[in-house]
Amino acid sequence: MKKKKTVSTIKYGKSFKAGLIMVAVILILAVIGLFWTPYDVNEMSYTVKNNAPSLLHPFGTDNFGRDVLSRVMQGASLSFLIAVAVVGMGTIAGTVVGALTGYFGGIADAVLMRINDALSAFPGVLLALVIIAVIGNGKYNLILALGIVFIPSYVRVVRGEVLKQKELDYVKNMKLMGASDLHIIFIDILPNIKTALTASVLIGFQNAVLSEAGMSYLGLGVTPPDPSLGRMLSEAQSSLIYAPWYAIAPGLTILFLTLGLGFISHGLAER
């Protein structure tokens, strides 16, 4: 008989551990940035404009004399919170729609899946741009736009898993025992698809961070005076030659976070 893995016997690979460390470093900065930063993120001082990294300013200063480390810390916090909201919206809505359509099927499934396919046909960023153009920019509108964009992918994942699960013996046994359809869907089936859903959430979080940075880079996401990693990259374009640290710090933050999430997802798939 094959021995069932327990929590104590599960082995995680090097990619998972490396990803965990990378994400942990950024999250520590982000969490601290929610409550404290070395300097006011919007405090300008032309006497220290474009200063190189030093003990006073470990990541240097920007072309307005603002401390880059402080802005990266709070920008990472904002990116993290936006990604959580976007993935949460996409996961909840996508799970409910995907689970119900996959389990019940019928006309509702056909109609909703055609709508889902139509939304999926648009490139995600393009669809988000259209929504932002209609409702306006800003962090809350950005969350709404990206949340809508992310829903179809979760619908497909959950619906596909539910279609497989509902044909298994344990679902048929629950029906014979008189369990309600909603009980079977949300209490019995959904816990059994958590592995696929967890991988989708990690990938979604990775994409949400990149999407937020991209939209803010274009000036369609987070608006001043709130710091944003994407907006910092946009502002740094004019000073790449004489103050490259202003682009390096937010760029590496985005890179570490997205790569780390990718390594964690890959590590979970390898188990």
Task: Give me the CATH number covering residue 264.
Answer: 1.10.3720.10
Rounded to the nearest integer, the mean pLDDT of the chain is 87
Are the C-beta atoms of 150 and 203 separated by less than 8 Å? Answer: no
Encoded tokens for 28? 């520590």
At 22, the pLDDT band (50, 70, 90 cuts) reads very high
Q: Is 30 a domain residue?
A: no
pLDDT at 2: 43
Q: Is 154 a domain residue?
A: yes
**What digits encode the pLDDT tens for the residues 182-227?**
999 999 999 999 888 888 898 899 999 999 998 888 888 888 888 8
Of 208 and 118, more confident? 208
Q: Is 233 a domain residue?
A: yes
- Rg of the chain over Cα atoms, rounded to whole angstroms, equals 22
87 CB contacts (<8 Å, ≥6 apart)? 150, 201, 204, 205, 208
Instruction: State how far the Cα of 93 lies from the Cα of 245, in Å rounded to an integer.
Output: 40
Q: Is 44 a domain residue?
A: no
Please identify which residue in the block is written with the tokens 């909703």. Answer: 112
Q: Is 35 a domain residue?
A: no
Question: Is residue 8 pLDDT above 50, yes or no?
Answer: no
Percent of the chain, pLDDT > 70? 94
Are the C-beta atoms of 268 and 197 separated by less than 8 Å? Answer: no
pLDDT at 175: 87
Which stretches does DSSP call E strand in 178-251?
A: none
Question: Is residue 7 pLDDT above 50, yes or no?
Answer: no
Q: Is 16 a domain residue?
A: no
pLDDT at 75: 92
Of 239 and 259, more confident? 259
Instruction: List the one residue out of 181, 159, 167, 139 whose CA is nearest residue 93.
Output: 159
**What digits encode the pLDDT tens for the residues 38-95?**
999 988 988 888 889 999 999 999 988 999 999 999 999 999 999 999 999 999 999 9
Residue 261: HSE in the Cβ half-sphere, 13 Å Cα cutoff: 22
Q: Is 161 a domain residue?
A: yes
Of 30 and 224, more confident? 30
Domain holding 139, by residue range, is 78-270
At 13, the pLDDT band (50, 70, 90 cuts) reads confident
Number of domain units in the chain: 1
Q: Is 181 a domain residue?
A: yes
pLDDT at 10: 54
pLDDT at 105: 86
